Structure 1
């Protein structure tokens, strides 16, 4: 039996990481049918599905998790082999991730991009103005950057799963009067502190949303957070605000107006 083609494994790992065939195609610089066909042939070869397909994206099967665990390091190593042997010049990509963006949401795309372009080195910047690519909200796009929307989502009230409010289908502003708030001062117009009752106390000031979610999960306070922040967490319950508009946020990726940054950003945009 012949070995599984490296490109097929690269497409598979990208699809596993990004959650869509279209995004896997973008980061590998090929068409979506190319990725879809390669994955289908791989599934036929293994006689079992690797992903459950739905409108929301791909859900890996147990076999896909096993294959990814076995293949990812080898794929990355082989994909960068020529670069290492030929000592090809490397390019630094300066990336900014805003404090209200969870890094786990952007890491898969960057990982697949690096695998498909081994000469890239990623450097993270504290300020969006200094970046080539920036993951942020539409309110924080720096001058000289072009913004593309990736998602729009409502805000919810996040509470620990054992919090008294967690059993409710939703909350009213009056329900929050005795609940300490964890403040998100780094998130312009998204903290919604103006909505909360005046009796509500501030328990802590988070420095980023990753820290914020851990504080909420530990039961140290509540906060207004984007709905997607609850994905994959069983220690936190997200509740809608019933008697006021908690607002929405629009997030995306911005890029510097250069051919290099534009090319990278276009490969990261989902369809």
Structure 2
């Protein structure tokens, strides 16, 4: 696999995603015959047929499905390498930290900078959708993660856990309570993917409806809170996120029988930069010093 041309691999992913050579070629801005030749060349290199194709359809073979499962990590690793090399070529050393909403990482960042005066420590705010992607493609060196997250290929350092709360419209019947049970929310509509709240599959009445609405796609905490304030449903968030985004038209209430959520520090397991382990020790020390 180390001899596979990454350009051909990108071409393969495009065809696998579209399952149509014409549309894939258009997305890549190349001619379809060129794309077909590149895919044939890749199949020759791998000694495997990747697509079943006829005049009406294109489908992945078992070998193609396996390559599609592995290709994103290979391409992300190559992109990460390019980013790090470009950063190193620009001059002063840079160390970039990704952090999720509600997390305050100032103390750890300042401590690393103080220990290494020639190091530029930069920050990137991430989301539930890209928190792992930015590590794999090299946009950040290390990231603070919240579950659920795909941790394959990462070195993970647990930092702390915190309670989860339900965020409700300010005039909701449960707003103002000091605490509730998850069962109190059974008839409500969850405005997020149930994978983020696994317990919802057991308590949510809507999970047993055939025509239950799909969870909308949100790109920020602010979008979620706007929908909650408008009375369209509820979200479950870590306590630190809810308190960070406090506003007068919503309320957050602890859910006493939901398991706490974790915050981890993670980085690419293949990397051996000593700054990674140093920052992890600093982050763990700072997290332990904060009362929870």
> How does the TM-score come out when normalised to structure 1?
0.51
Where does the alignment leave 5 or more consecutive residues of structure 1 unmatched?
A: 1-87
What is the aligned counterpart of 2:217 among 197, 205, 227? 205
TM-score by length of 2: 0.48
Q: Please, which runs of 5 or more residues in structure 2 have no aligned partner?
A: 1-89
Q: How does 1:188-203 map to 2 (within 5 A)?
A: 188-190=195-197, 192-194=199-201, 195-198=203-206
Instruction: Kindly indicate whether residue 165 of structure 2 is the aligned counterpart of residue 153 of structure 1.
Output: no
**Distance in 2 between residues matched to 1:203 and 1:140, nearest whole Å:** 18
Q: Tell me the SS of whatever aligns to 1:150.
A: strand
Give the equivalent residue in structure 1 for 2:261: 249
Q: Deviations over 1:199-254 (max 9, x none)?
A: 67567332344532443345432112222223252533222446xx4222111212
Task: Give the number of the structure whose alpha-carbon radius of gyration is greater.
Answer: 2
Alignment partners' CA distance in 1, 2:149 and 2:265: 11
Which residue number corresponds to residue 45 of structure 1?
none
Aligned with residue 112 of structure 1, among 110, 113, 118: 110
Which one of 136, 144, 147 corresponds to residue 129 of structure 1? 136
Give the conservation status (yes or no) of the 8 Å contact 1:180–1:202.
Answer: no
Q: Which aligned pairs between 1:1-271 and structure 2 lie closer than 5 A?
A: 89-97=91-99, 101-102=100-101, 104-109=102-107, 112-113=110-111, 116=114, 117=117, 119-122=119-122, 124=124, 126=130, 127=133, 128-130=135-137, 131-137=140-146, 140=149, 142-172=151-181, 175-176=184-185, 178-184=187-193, 188-190=195-197, 192-194=199-201, 195-198=203-206, 204-232=216-244, 233-235=246-248, 236-241=250-255, 245-256=257-268, 257-258=271-272, 259-269=274-284, 270=286, 271=288
User: How far off is 1:111 after superposition?
Assistant: 5.4
SS of the residue 2:136 aligns to: helix
* 1:134 Cα deviation from its structure 2 partner: 1.3
**Is the 1:192–1:224 contact (alpha carbons within 8 Å) kept by the matching residues of 2?**
no
Aligned length: 176
Q: Measured at CA, do residues 121 and 162 of structure 1 come closer, stay the same or move farther in structure 2, by a change above 3 Å?
A: same
Secondary structure of the equivalent of 1:181? Answer: coil
| Structure with the higher fraction of residues in strand conformation | 1
Work out the CA distance in 2 between the residues paired with 1:107 and 1:172.
31
* Structure 2 residue aligned with 1:48: none
